[in-house]
Amino acid sequence: MVRRTPSRRAFLRLGGVSLAAAALAPHAFGSTAFTDPRPARLASRPGSITLLSSLGNRYIVDRATLLAAPDASSVIQDAIDAAAADGIPTVELPPGDPDDYACHSAVHLKGRSLIGVGTTLTVGSAIPARALLNASGITGGSKPSLNEDHGSGSTRIRIPDELRGSMAAGTVLGIEARVQTTGPATTGTGQQGWAFEMHQVDRVRGPFAYLDEPLIWDYPVAAGARAFIIQPVSDFAIEGIRITATDAHSQPIRGVLVREAIRPTIDVALLDAGGGVLVLNSMHSTIRAQVDALPRYYDEFGYGVVIAGASAYATAEVNGGNCRHLFSTLADERPSPTGGANEQWGDPRHLVVRGSGWAGPDSLAVWDTHPYGYDITFDRCDAHGGGSDAAGFQIRNRNVALSQCSSTSAGNVAARLAPGQASGVRITGGSFTGAARAGIGLAAGCSVSGATIRGNGEAGIIVNDESTQATVANSLIESNAGFGVQDQSSGEHTGVLLEGNTIPYSDTQHLGVLLPQSDMIIRENHFRGFASVDAAIHQPGPNVQIVNNTAGA
């Protein structure tokens, strides 16, 4: 047994049995409760750590040691270092309440799982790191140029000469090019985003690497297309841990950062913390988070869960509120090669988000996407309340689905589909009610089908110049302030369709459609309670098509 006592007083136990106890029973390693071999480096452990291997799968940190430690992070890091050296996959933390385990430095998981059992970690001072708990792979080596164009939908790439021999089935590949993927309103701004995807190689045949799925974007040689290998950390978990802070405003640090990872599982809670969870450039992630107040609602440390960069195939279940955004997306933010403002790379794709959230008085949208992202589904998410800046949903990227979602009593709009940023958004079912302002604001190529839009403080549906090819169909639009549908455009949109909706008259909603412009089609809607269709549709433009609508009972 090795026992030394420098500044770090760390003591680990496994399976509830200390090494000192094992020393009193010298044949313990031969008993059925323990398995050989012993940890490979047990006799040369640095610091004051004493380890015992039982069942060969986890080290358990002693509660008394964590309570006594000036910096609980140092004790946890010692345990992780020992587990990494011995090939032990998991470190377990004991139960603890807020302020029990004060953390003053970052923890790096080194590919280990970190499992809490009702464990609270309290950030006790400003920590100069991106997150308290960090797990990361490696993006290293060269980024050689591709020598031929690769278009959207391609399932293979020609391997650059520099990467020949380095690729095989399962290799994780990054592909990027200076091709804009964000909406036109971002062009020339700090939110302009560039193409970057991560893929796993399915197989290699000759000069080609075949990918796990088709490319989303174009990667032309002229746009500096290049490829590189990512060495991810994989198959680990951060679970059963709650993170809080003694002063979230002066201690801005995310609770968890996972990057360049495959198949991570994150299951944490955040309570009055200085930051949330960021998953960056990772694939097949599973995220569960309870977020009970992130007081830094004024910056990115107020985001509950963020999926960012080239992340793909993630599921996130997020509940809670009183933060800037309960959920959002971001890009991989990188320094500019020319020394200018940072650049934004990558669109998180193929995400499914579920949960229930509420907005505090200083919150922005509960459910949000930044201009980065592709194929994101909000499945039965609900949002409630908030101050004058709080939307239930704010969508700023392409190809998003809101499936059976609801927003009630939002302080701003129920659902904002950002003009010039969002496109191809699909709202199916659900309800958008009681917002202080409008129900749903439309963007290009968006559709609303089978939804209820009721009792909002402005019009139920807002049409603007960016609403080209938007559709609202088979929905109930009732009891909104003034108008069921209001066209606020100057007539620049084309192809807007209102079809099969029920838009009744009420004491508050005294017009069905106000000022429809351009070539809008208003077809087969029922304007219940209006004296006539003409009474329901106010001052349509000369090219508006009004076809087969009904009014009355």
d(CA 113, CA 239): 8
Tell me if 258 is assigned to some domain. Answer: no
Under 8 Å between Cβ of 241 and 268 = yes
The half-sphere exposure of 421 on its side-chain side, counting CA atoms within 13 A, is 19
Q: Is residue 87 part of a domain?
A: yes
Alpha helices by DSSP H, 237-319: none
* 229 within 8 A of 174, measured Cβ to Cβ: yes
Number of domains in the chain: 2
> Could you tell me how many residues make up the chain?
553
Between β-strands 426-428 and 398-403, what pairing exists: parallel, antiparallel or unpaired?
parallel
pLDDT of the residue at 311: 99
- Within a domain: 341: no
526 domain residue, yes or no: no
| The pairing of beta strand 440-441 with beta strand 461-463 | parallel
Whether 70 and 143 map to the same domain: the answer is: no
pLDDT on residue 16: 37
* Phi, psi (degrees; rounded to nearest 5) at 63: -65, -45
Whether residue 128 is contained in a domain is answered as no
DSSP 408: E
**Can you give the pLDDT at residue 20?**
28
Handedness of CA 206, 207, 212, 213 (dihedral sign): negative
Choose one of 163, 198, 229: the last residue of a domain: 229
For residue 84, being part of any structural domain is answered with yes
Could you give the angle at the alpha carbon of 76 between the alpha carbons of 73 and 78, nearest 5°?
A: 110
Please indicate, yes or no, whether residues 5 and 90 belong to a single structural domain of this protein: yes
The reported pLDDT for the residue numbered 56 is 64
Distance between CA atoms of residues 484 and 458, nearest Å: 9
Phi (first) and psi of residue 487, to 5 degrees: -90, 110
- Written as six digits, the tokens of 193 are 């985003």
Number of CB atoms found within 10 A of residue 287's CB: 25
At 168, list the tokens: 């095989």
φ/ψ (deg, to 5) at 323? -140, 180
Q: Which residues pair with 203 in a beta bridge?
A: 210
**Is-contact 301 253, C-beta < 8 A?**
yes
Tell me the chain's radius of gyration from C-alpha atoms: 27
Residuewise pLDDT in 10s, the chain (553 residues): 222 222 322 334 443 333 222 222 222 222 222 223 334 333 334 444 444 444 568 999 999 999 999 999 999 999 999 999 999 999 999 999 999 999 999 999 999 999 999 999 999 999 999 999 999 999 877 899 999 999 999 999 999 999 999 999 999 999 999 999 999 999 999 999 999 999 999 999 999 999 999 999 999 999 999 999 999 999 999 999 999 999 999 999 999 999 999 999 999 999 999 999 999 999 999 999 999 999 999 999 999 999 999 999 999 999 999 999 999 999 999 999 888 899 999 999 999 999 999 999 999 999 999 999 999 999 999 999 999 999 999 999 999 999 999 999 999 999 999 999 999 999 999 999 999 999 999 999 999 999 999 999 999 999 999 999 999 999 999 999 999 999 999 999 999 999 999 999 999 999 999 999 999 999 999 999 999 999 999 999 999 999 999 999 8
Q: Considering the domain boundaries, does residue 542 fall inside one?
A: no
Q: Write out the two tokens for 544.
A: 């508006």
Three-class secondary structure of residue 227 per DSSP: strand
Report pLDDT for 360.
96
Beta-sheet pairing, 426-428 with 277-280: unpaired
3 state DSSP class of 139:
strand
Q: What whole-number distance in Å separates Cα of residue 184 and Cα of residue 359? A: 29
| Residue-wise DSSP of 368-381 | E--S--EEEEEES-
What pLDDT score does 5 carry?
27
What is residue 140's predicted lDDT score, i.e. its pLDDT? 73
Interacting residues of 164 by C-beta distance below 8 A, sequence separation 6+:
207
Three-class secondary structure of residue 535 per DSSP: helix
CB 294 within 8 A of CB 255: no
Cα–Cα separations (whole angstroms), residue 466 to 442, 469, 486, 519, 522: 8, 9, 14, 14, 18
Tokens encoding 208: 């080609």
Q: Report the pLDDT value the prediction gives residue 553, as an integer from 0 to 100.
A: 87
Is-contact 469 494, C-beta < 8 A? yes
- Characterize 174-204 residue by residue with b for buried, 16 or more Cβ atoms within 10 angstroms of its Cβ, and e for exposed: bbbbebebbbebbeeeebbbbbbbbbbbbeb
Please, which residues have CB within 8 angstroms of residue 32's CB and are 6 or more apart in sequence?
Answer: none
Residues 154 and 215 in one domain: yes
DSSP SS3 for 63: helix
Q: Which of 174, 201, 229 is the last residue of a domain?
A: 229
pTM over 0.85: yes
Closest by alpha carbon to 418, among 391, 395, 393, 384? 395
Domain of residue 78, residue span: 1-94
Of 180, 206, 229, the position where a domain reaches its end is 229
Let me know whether 5 and 84 are in one domain.
Answer: yes
517, part of any domain: no
